[in-house]
Amino acid sequence: IRIFMPNIKLPDGSIRDYESNVSVAEVALDIGEGLARAALAGKIDQKLVDLDYVISDDKNLSIITSKDPEGIEIIRNSTNYLLAVAVKEIFPEAQIGLGLLIEDGFYYDFSYKRPFTPEDIELIEKKMHELSKNNSPIIKKLLSKKQAISLFNAIGESYKVKIIESDSDKENLSLYGLNKFIDLSKGPLISSTGKL
């Protein structure tokens, strides 16, 4: 019986053999501590994946850092996510809508009883800095569409339920959690807030 050991081919053509399944983060650390600190995600056969993605068979892998074009997108997507966390921590009654990347940044839709003021924006920015200094892990969960709808109904996020019901053709959805906050994201996102 052959026990399968993944061979990971890196962009420089070198191949790393592993005795068992290995995460993207573990490969980055195997290459070097500096790369592991800088790593934001992985690219496996042209698909972006989170650092905790587990490789179980032979793959081509690139480690994505902030120096890569995809790295900038991951940072923006993750910062946008952090924005939503900050808003919900300061204004728990705010409903979260869509968060999207645009050409030179990002935006998030919120529904709140009043418009946000410049003072609110300052509070939100301060909370985002605080969250990034905490270096808290951002945890990914895969849920079925039905489970995601049930979850967002339970926490009172009616806009999110409508978005899932109307836009999502997928049966499994990626959700990311930080502290008590959870939201949809196509990902990948950074593994911890300290990388922002």
Q: What is the pLDDT of residues 63-80, one digit of tens each?
A: 999 999 999 999 999 999
β-strand pairing of 59-64 with 41-44: antiparallel
Q: Average pLDDT, stretch 12-41?
A: 94
Q: Average pLDDT, stretch 10-36?
A: 94
More confident residue, 190 or 171: 190
Identity of the residue numbered 115: P
Q: What share of the chain is helix, strand, coil (3-state, %, to 5)?
A: 40, 30, 30
Of all residues in the chain, the percent with pLDDT exceeding 70 is: 97
Burial degree of 137 (CB within 10 A; 0-12, 13-18, 19+): middle
Q: What is the pLDDT of residues 154-170, one digit of tens each?
A: 999 999 999 888 875 67
Q: Which band of pLDDT confidence, cut at 50, 70 and 90, is reported for residue 45?
A: confident
Question: What is the residue-averaged pLDDT of the chain?
Answer: 91
Per the CB < 8 A criterion, the answer to whether 172 and 140 are in contact is no
Q: Which band of pLDDT confidence, cut at 50, 70 and 90, is reported for residue 1?
A: very low
Element (H, E) at 143: strand 139-144
